[in-house]
Amino acid sequence: MNETTNFNDILKKNFLNDFMFGNLSIIDILLGLLTAFIAGAFIYFVYKSTYKGVLYSPSFNATLLVMTMITCLVIMTISTNVVLSLGMVGALSIVRFRTAIKDPLDVVFMFWAIAAGISSGAGLYFLTFVGAGVIGGVLIILSRKKHADTLYLLVIHYTEEAADDVRKELQKLDHTLKSKIVRKNVIEQTSEIRLKIDNTAFMSRLNEVEGVRDVSLVQYNGDYAV
Check residue 183 and give its pLDDT. Answer: 83
Check residue 84 and give its pLDDT. Answer: 60
Backbone torsions φ then ψ of 103, nearest 5 degrees? -120, 125
**Average pLDDT, stretch 108-122?**
89
Check residue 53 and give its pLDDT. Answer: 66
Q: How confident is the model at residue 121 (pLDDT cuts 50, 70, 90)?
A: confident
pLDDT in tens, 129-185: 999 999 999 988 887 765 555 777 888 888 888 888 888 888 878 788 888 888 877
Q: What is the distance between the alpha carbons of residues 63 and 9, in angstroms, rounded to a whole number?
A: 46
Q: What is the distance between the alpha carbons of residues 69 and 204, in angstroms, rounded to a whole number?
A: 54
Instruction: Say what the pTM is.
Output: 0.60
pLDDT tops 70 at residue 97: no
| Nearest to 216, CA basis, from 67, 207, 89, 71 | 207
Sheet holding 175-183, edge to edge: 175-183, 186-195, 150-159, 212-220
CB 113 within 8 A of CB 66: no
Q: What percent of the chain has pLDDT over 70?
A: 71
What does each C-alpha distance from 172 to 84, 94, 215 come to in angstroms?
A: 67, 56, 16
Check residue 148 and give its pLDDT. Answer: 52
pLDDT in tens, 2-21: 555 554 555 455 544 544 44
Which sign, positive or negative, has the C-alpha torsion 59, 67, 144, 99? negative
pLDDT tops 90 at residue 45: yes
pLDDT tops 80 at residue 65: yes
Please give the sequence-ordered ranges of beta strands (E in DSSP) within 96-211, or none if there are none. 150-159, 175-183, 186-195
DSSP H/E element including 214: strand 212-220
Q: Which residues of 202-211 are buried (b: 16+ CB within 10 A; e: fewer)?
A: beeebeebeb
| Nearest to 194, CA basis, from 215, 175, 216, 180 | 175
Check residue 5 and give its pLDDT. Answer: 53
Q: What is the distance between the alpha carbons of residues 148 and 181, in angstroms, rounded to a whole number?
A: 31
- Please list the helix, strand and coil fractions of the chain in percent, rounded to the nearest 5, in that order: 60, 15, 25
Q: How confident is the model at residue 89 (pLDDT cuts 50, 70, 90)?
A: low
